[in-house]
Structure 1
Amino acid sequence: MMRILMGAATPVPSPSETVNPDLVTPGPWGFLVIALLAVVVILLITDMMRRIRRGRVRADIREELDAEARAEAGADPDSATDDTDGEAPEHGAPERS
């Protein structure tokens, strides 16, 4: 009785290999899919960065043109007046010249 309460040594099963490791590896098709996915992600990131950079340059040019227009009109170049009269800026396709 005392041996049951103290926790007799129970046999621990030894791990046995039941799965064939050759059947659970990704193989060449898995490598090809992951490599193709990596290339697509790199191309998408490159395109996104190019678009962000282009938008920033256009915004800088637009600010410079607005500042020149205000300076030609005789307005104070340091003032932060907006020509839209309180309207929200238009969000659409950029103007092309």
Structure 2
Amino acid sequence: MKDVGLELSYIVRRPVLLKFSVERRLLPRHSVLKVLKEKGLLKFELDFYSTALLAEKDFVKKFVHPFKNNAPGLVEDYASKCLGKATDGIA
């Protein structure tokens, strides 16, 4: 909740979030979205819930691969985080 900035009420209204792994799904996706926002690569505001629900291949296709040249290390860091391995962070 703290890392992603979600309020308890947000999660309570979307209980399906509780079925996802925090370490292997939610935090890695949050990290990708945070980097894309910081680099100005996302031109619109996203609802975290909608990105959490995406199938893995759809998330990667929409938010990782299109930006791999603009955010070096994005692909590798995302894959590493999904496997639960600690990294220095996305470049």
Tell me which interval the TM-score lies in, with the shorter structure as reference length: under 0.3
TM-score between both structures, scaled by the size of structure 1 = 0.24
Between 1 and 2, higher relative CO (CA 8 Å, sep ≥ 6) is seen in 2
Bigger proportion of residues as helix: 2
Tell me which structure has the larger Cα radius of gyration.
1
TM-score between both structures, scaled by the size of structure 2 = 0.25
